[in-house]
């Protein structure tokens, strides 16, 4: 076990719990896609890069990994629009696609992405999110969810606060007033 102390960040989900949960998600996905030729894991940059690295390695089924980049929302604004910054390289048509996202909050990001991809006629499309916040009026649900978390800003395991803390091995809550 690594112990990392970062001022302003409080551990919410320890590393070993993330590891165990990723393995159990991978088991379910292996089962659900056992009859399918190949699965395309489509990671949403940048928040999902560590999650997809671990998830893709924990799977046994045939899989490819590709990425798409969307604009992240501005903390100062209420609900800014979602924008495509970088598209996938692998053609989506006819493939079984699993979108791998870091966080499901309002669902605005996921809705945008699922609409975009559905228009390209995949064989199937589902989503897997690492953490889910308790939003009441969510526009869309995810098929696989790692953890339910409180409505607070979280960092670590790929997640950032102003591009900081992505490389922390655990998921933690951040107190902006206590940062260096």
Question: x/- site string to ligand IMP, residues 101 to 140, per CB under 6 A?
Answer: xxxxxxxxxx------------------------------
Q: For Mg ion, which stretch binds (CB under 5 A), given 33-41, 77-85, 89-97, 101-109? A: 101-109
Structure tokens at 170: 């655990």
Residue 105 site contact among Mg ion, ligand IMP, none (CB < 5 to 8 Å, cut-off depends on kind): ligand IMP
* 105 counts as catalytic: yes
Close Cβ partners of 131 (under 8 Å, ≥ 6 residues apart): 13, 102, 103, 104, 145, 146, 147, 148, 149, 154, 171
Instruction: Quickly tell me which residue has 């978390």 as its tokens.
Output: 149
> Are the CB atoms for 106 and 79 separated by under 8 Å?
yes
In the bound complex, what is the minimum distance in angstroms from residue 47's beta carbon to Mg ion? 4
The residue annotated as part of the active site, out of 66, 105, 151, 175, is 105
Cα(104)–Cα(92) distance, integer angstroms: 22
- Residue 62 sits at φ, ψ, to 5 deg, of -65, 130
List the one residue from 43, 47, 156, 172 that touches ligand IMP (CB under 6 A). Answer: 47
Smallest CA-to-CA distance from 136 within 100, 176, 110, 107 is with 107
Among residues 15, 25, 41, 47, which is the contact residue for Mg ion, using CB under 5 A?
Answer: 47
Of 33 and 54, nearer to ligand IMP (C-beta) is 54
Least distance between Mg ion and beta carbon 45 (Å): 8
Q: Is 40 helix (H, G, I), strand (E, B) or coil?
A: strand
Smallest distance, ligand IMP to C-beta of residue 172, A: 10
Residue 159 per-residue DSSP state: B
Which helix (H) or strand (E) segment is 19 a member of?
Answer: helix 15-32
CB of 20 to ligand IMP, least distance (A): 22
Tell me which residues are annotated as active site. Answer: 105
Tell me which residues touch ligand IMP (CB under 6 A). 47, 72-73, 101-110, 153-154, 159-160
Tell me which residues touch Mg ion (CB under 5 A). 47, 102
């Amino acid at each position: 076990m690594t112990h990392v102390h970062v001022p302003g960040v409080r551990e919410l989900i320890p590393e070993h719990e993330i590891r165990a949960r990723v393995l159990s998600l991978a088991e379910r996905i292996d089962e659900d896609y056992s009859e399918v030729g190949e699965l395309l894991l489509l990671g949403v940059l940048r928040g999902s890069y560590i999650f997809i690295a671990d998830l893709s390695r924990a799977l046994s089924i045939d899989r490819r990994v590709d990425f798409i980049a969307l604009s992240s929302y501005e903390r100062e604004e209420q609900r800014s629009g979602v924008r495509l910054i970088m598209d996938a390289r692998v053609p989506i048509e006819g493939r079984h696609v699993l979108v791998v996202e870091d966080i499901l909050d309002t669902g605005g990001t996921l809705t945008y992405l699922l609409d975009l991809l559905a228009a390209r006629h995949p064989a199937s499309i589902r989503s897997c999110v690492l953490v889910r916040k308790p939003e009441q009026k969510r526009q869309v649900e995810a098929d696989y969810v790692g953890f339910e978390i409180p409505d607070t800003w979280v960092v670590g395991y790929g997640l950032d606060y102003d591009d900081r803390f992505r490389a922390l091995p655990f998921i933690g809550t951040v107190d902006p007033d206590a940062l260096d």
